[in-house]
């Protein structure tokens, strides 16, 4: 019995130990269940939803651009693309291998995708392939179970209806670089483009908008079942330009095959109605990627299609600068409109002879005759009397050699030299330097945009600034009102004397540009020719009947023409520069005449402005 009691005691202790162990186990289990279901319930519910719900950011539609009459010049069109969400696949490489069996991937594409996956957070979609055809998109969708992490997205791509004709104005967009990503997290989203040139770059922040988000319920294999929530992003702002797109196309057509540029301004308020550069390029190629062959073709072209010649091309202004020389002399009282200067065909200064373009000379001329005949000797002497510093100061008042408020990245100010600049360079300024600058040669370097601005300021007497933006999101920008620009501070009688000389250039039979005379009844244009040398002509060449048209193309002078019209009530100003066109009167003046005829006939500044056309955000017009 004692032995039996002993066995019973052992069993009881074992039962108690086992019971205690069971209670402890169940207690631990209960505590863990409480921890999981109550304390961390929200966390695990979120994780469960994460497996069931795919949350994706969506890029906003980029803002559009319209011309002054509401015609779209930069819009968006649909673009099917395949994206990869790295966190939705266990093996990115295997997913890409499976994708490549459906839509082949080049080695450089694969490298770019893998680089983007490592560069971004795993929940951020990475573009695998854009511009999918319908058949490719359908095959990807059918094979979705074998493509974990791959999703089809309907995005947009940039569309430029006017192509090369507005490329240098509107600019273009391209995918952001790695350096750009730090500026804005939204730039990591697939399909995002940023402005790289022109107004696309200047207005880039306004055009971007704000990103949206979408939540999609997916099944076990990642196939989308339904959309749970969709929050639209904020589209980018719409920009209305001052440009008349149809006039722009007419200007491009008139430039033809010449390497040339032309600028047309509303002389009263500085609105840029046309700004053409020829040759040009297709801006849409930068969105999808420029091939190496295309890039080599562009960069090796001696006519430089990628350069905006109208705003960044630098040229000696030649005789188009003579109005500035005249105005500086009139203000300094070193010349009056009635003073006469004799032109025997040359000006001797020390042992140097400066020639007039007319070998036999022009005889006695006053200011009107000097401008009308574009007499070099007249302006050699006028510049000598006045001095380079006065001439440079006057040039700056007319928008030459100074920064203009044009909204184009890369626009250049040009250069007007002074005595102080020359001394800072370690060389003295000579009277001979001043004489050469009197006819727009020497160190002068100006843009067609600045020459058009000069013509507008001469025409109106106001310090208008050229600008390309008319409205942002419907808000009209400053500068539309002509009275908003201050007067330039030149006496009206002095401006009139110069305008009268420009009128004689075009409208009198013995002026230098009779080919520029308008055929429109009752409308007259005032203008000035210019031919700027790109290499020096030696005395020996002159003595042997040198003709610049016999030179190779790249050695011929540039041909220029500036003008405004109508003469009695100026509304439009323009500048035309034909690279190596030889003579402004023969080459640039007829082009300017035809452009001004189109401008006056169309009269865009007087036509009522139109709100942008209702273009759908997916790009459908």
Q: Which residues are catalytic?
A: 319
In Å, how far are 459, 514, 527, 564, 584 from 507, measured between CA atoms? 16, 6, 9, 13, 16
* HSE-up (13 A, CA, CB side) for residue 483: 0
CB–CB of 348/375 below 8 Å? no
Closest to 234 (Cα-Cα) out of 451, 62, 367, 376? 62
Q: Which residues of 278-295 are buried (b: 16+ CB within 10 A; e: fewer)?
A: bbbbebbbbbeebeeeee
From CA 521, how far away is CA 261, in angstroms rounded? 28
From CA 607, how far away is CA 576, in angstroms rounded? 24
CB–CB of 273/266 below 8 Å? yes
In Å, how far are 116, 287, 364, 596 from 176, measured between CA atoms? 12, 11, 64, 41
Helix, strand or coil for residue 601?
Answer: helix
CB–CB of 470/337 below 8 Å? no
Q: DSSP secondary-structure letter at 567?
A: S
Tokens 């300017």 — which residue?
A: 592
- How is residue 62 written in tokens? 């980029």
Q: DSSP secondary-structure letter at 175?
A: P
Helix, strand or coil for residue 527?
Answer: strand
The beta strands (E) that lie in 8-59 are given as 53-58
Contacts 24+ apart (CB under 8 A), 415-418: 415/314, 415/443, 415/444, 415/445, 415/446, 416/392, 416/444, 416/446, 417/388, 417/392, 417/442, 417/443, 417/444, 418/388, 418/389, 418/392
From CA 324, how far away is CA 397, in angstroms rounded? 9
- How is residue 552 written in tokens? 């190779």
């Amino acid at each position: 019995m004692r032995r039996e009691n002993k066995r019973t005691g052992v069993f009881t202790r074992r039962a108690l130990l086992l019971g205690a162990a069971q209670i402890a186990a169940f207690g631990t289990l209960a505590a863990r269940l409480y921890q999981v279901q109550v304390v961390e319930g929200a966390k695990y519910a979120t994780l469960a939803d994460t497996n069931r719900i795919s949350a994706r950011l969506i890029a906003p539609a980029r803002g559009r651009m319209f011309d002054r009459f509401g015609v779209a010049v930069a819009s968006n069109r649909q673009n099917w693309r395949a994206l990869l969400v790295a966190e939705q696949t266990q093996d990115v490489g295997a997913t890409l291998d499976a994708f490549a069996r459906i839509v082949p991937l080049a080695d450089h594409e694969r490298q770019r995708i893998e680089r983007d996956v490592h560069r971004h957070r795993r929940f951020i979609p990475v573009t695998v392939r854009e511009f999918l055809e319908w058949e490719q998109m359908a095959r990807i969708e059918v094979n979705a179970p074998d493509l974990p992490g791959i999703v089809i997205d309907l995005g947009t791509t940039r569309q430029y209806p006017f192509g090369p004709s507005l490329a240098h104005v509107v600019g273009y967009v391209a995918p952001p670089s790695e350096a750009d990503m730090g500026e804005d997290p939204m730039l990591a989203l697939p399909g995002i483009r940023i402005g790289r040139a022109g107004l696309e770059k200047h207005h880039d922040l306004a055009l971007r908008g704000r990103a949206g988000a979408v939540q999609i319920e997916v099944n076990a294999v990642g196939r989308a079942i339904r959309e749970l929530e969709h929050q639209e992003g904020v589209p980018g702002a719409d920009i209305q330009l001052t440009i008349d797109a149809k006039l722009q196309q007419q200007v491009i057509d008139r430039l033809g095959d010449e390497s040339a540029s032309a600028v047309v301004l509303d002389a009263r308020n500085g609105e840029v109605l046309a700004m053409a550069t020829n040759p040009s390029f297709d801006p849409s190629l930068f969105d999808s990627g420029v091939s190496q062959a295309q890039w080599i073709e562009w960069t090796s072209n001696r006519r430089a299609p990628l350069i905006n010649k109208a705003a960044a091309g630098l040229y000696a202004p030649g005789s188009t600068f003579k109005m500035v020389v005249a105005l500086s002399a009139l203000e300094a009282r070193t010349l009056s409109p009635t003073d006469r200067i004799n032109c025997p065909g040359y000006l001797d200064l020390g042992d140097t002879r400066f020639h007039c373009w007319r070998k036999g000379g022009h005889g006695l001329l006053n200011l009107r005759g000097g401008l009308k005949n574009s007499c070099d000797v007249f302006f050699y002497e006028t510049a000598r009397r006045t001095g380079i510093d006065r001439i440079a100061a006057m040039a700056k008042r007319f928008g030459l050699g100074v920064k203009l408020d044009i909204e184009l990245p890369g626009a250049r100010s040009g250069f007007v030299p002074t005595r102080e600049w020359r001394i800072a360079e370690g060389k003295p300024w000579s009277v001979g330097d001043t004489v050469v600058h009197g006819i727009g040669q020497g160190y002068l370097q100006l843009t067609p945009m600045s020459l058009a601005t000069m013509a507008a300021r001469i025409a109106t007497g106001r310090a208008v600034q050229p600008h390309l933006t008319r409205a942002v999101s419907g808000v009209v920008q400053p500068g539309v009102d002509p009275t908003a620009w201050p007067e330039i501070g030149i006496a009206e009688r002095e401006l009139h004397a110069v305008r009268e000389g420009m009128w004689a250039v075009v409208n009198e039979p013995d002026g230098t540009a009779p080919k520029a005379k308008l055929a429109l009844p009752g409308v007259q244009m005032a203008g000035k020719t210019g031919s700027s040398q790109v290499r020096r002509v030696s005395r020996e060449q002159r003595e042997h009947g040198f003709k610049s048209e016999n030179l190779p193309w790249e050695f011929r002078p540039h041909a220029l023409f500036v003008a405004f019209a109508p003469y009695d009530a100026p509304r439009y100003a323009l500048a035309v520069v034909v690279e190596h066109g030889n003579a402004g009167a023969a080459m640039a003046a007829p082009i300017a005449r035809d452009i001004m005829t189109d401008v006056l006939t169309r009269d865009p500044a007087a036509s009522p402005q139109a709100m942008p056309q209702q273009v759908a955000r997916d790009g459908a017009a």
